[in-house]
Amino acid sequence: MTQDSTIKVIVADDHAVVRQGITRILGTSDRIEVIGEAESGDEAWLLIKDMVPDVALLDIRMPTMTGIEIIKSINAAGLQTKSLILTNYDNPDYILEAISEGAHGYILKAIDPNSLIKSVIAVYEGEVVLDPEVASLVAKTWRERNSRSSATMGISSLTIREKETLKLACDGLRNREISDEMGISVRTVEGHFNRIFSKLGVSSRTEAVLQAVSEPI
């Protein structure tokens, strides 16, 4: 993957006008190519399986399969496609479930065209994208949930190196890039993440990044 790589995208939304509008917006970027459109969840899943796009831009609620169910299917199939939720629903339960299942971003349809393009590119490049309109709401809900869990120790429990590792993950760096930045082996980076997950009571780097949003490092 290079900075100039063409990003192949599938757009899934059950409203034709919205879907076509999204496609036109993405088409204004010379980095993005929309290679397929779907009006239902199962149609989106078939396109993803057949075409393996770089990014799947998914609505939450669609006929036959939800966006979250599609994300689960992507993970179960071991596909490299990254998922970005684009929806009208700012329900924190939807957002947390999507992130927990492996969504790489969650943005609202009120987003401006330029920010939509930037969000697709950011997700492709490994960043976790949260719409600013919902980030504070998610952070509040995340804190409330974690406060009820004795297994969650919080960001303050991390060592300096673990915090540094997590901060680099928040910046969108992958394990190899983190190892280069910190001057340590990839195995050591993986060890840092295992301890971070244990201390924060999470099971993925995306969840860890989300907690870092709610409880700044």
In the prediction, which pLDDT does 140 show?
65
Which of these ranges, 89-93, 150-154, 203-207, has the smallest mean pLDDT? 150-154
In the prediction, which pLDDT does 50 show?
96
Is there a single domain that holds both residue 109 and residue 168? no
Q: Is residue 55 part of a domain?
A: yes
Round to the nearest angstrom and report the end-to-end CA distance of the chain: 29
Give the torsion through C-alpha atoms of 46, 52, 53, 55, to 10 deg. 90
Q: Which two tokens stand for residue 18?
A: 């919205």
Which CATH number is 61's domain given?
3.40.50.2300
Picking from 76, 111, 140, the residue at the C-terminal end of a domain is: 140
Picking from 140, 158, 186, the residue at the C-terminal end of a domain is: 140
Q: What is the mean pLDDT of residues 138-163?
A: 70
Q: Which two tokens stand for residue 189?
A: 């980076």
Which CATH number is 161's domain given?
1.10.10.10
Is there a single domain that holds both residue 21 and residue 120? yes
- Exposure string (b/e) for 194-212, b if CB count within 10 Å is 16 or more? eebeebbbbeebbbbbbbb
Please write the tens of the pLDDT for every residue from 35-78.
Answer: 999 999 999 999 999 999 999 999 999 999 999 999 989 988 98
Q: Is residue 2 part of a domain?
A: no
Q: What CA–CA distance (Å, rounded) separates 154 from 115?
A: 31
Is there a single domain that holds both residue 186 and residue 136? no
How does residue 135 score in pLDDT terms, banded at 50, 70 and 90? low
Is there a single domain that holds both residue 77 and residue 21? yes
Is there a single domain that holds both residue 25 and residue 126? yes
Q: What is the mean pLDDT of residues 85-114?
A: 85
Range of the domain at 94: 7-140
Tell me the residue length of the chain.
Answer: 217
Is there a single domain that holds both residue 65 and residue 12? yes
Any residues with CB less than 8 A from the CB of 160 and at least 6 apart, and which? none
Q: What CA–CA distance (Å, rounded) separates 14 from 30?
A: 26
Residue 109 has pLDDT above 50, yes or no: yes
Q: Is residue 68 part of a domain?
A: yes
In the prediction, which pLDDT does 204 show?
76
Which helix (H) or strand (E) is 67 found in, with range? helix 67-77
Residue 153 has pLDDT above 50, yes or no: yes
In the prediction, which pLDDT does 175 show?
81
Specify whether the CB–CB gap between 129 and 84 falls below 8 A: yes
Is there a single domain that holds both residue 74 and residue 125? yes
In the prediction, which pLDDT does 64 show?
94
Please write the tens of the pLDDT for every residue from 28-47.
Answer: 999 999 999 999 999 999 99
Specify whether the CB–CB gap between 196 and 158 falls below 8 A: yes
In the prediction, which pLDDT does 137 show?
67
Picking from 113, 140, 167, the residue at the C-terminal end of a domain is: 140
Q: Is residue 1 part of a domain?
A: no
Is there a single domain that holds both residue 107 and residue 36? yes
More confident residue, 141 or 212: 212
Residue 139 has pLDDT above 70, yes or no: no
> What is the number of structural domains in the chain?
2
In the prediction, which pLDDT does 150 show?
46
Is there a single domain that holds both residue 104 and residue 159? no
Is there a single domain that holds both residue 121 and residue 35? yes
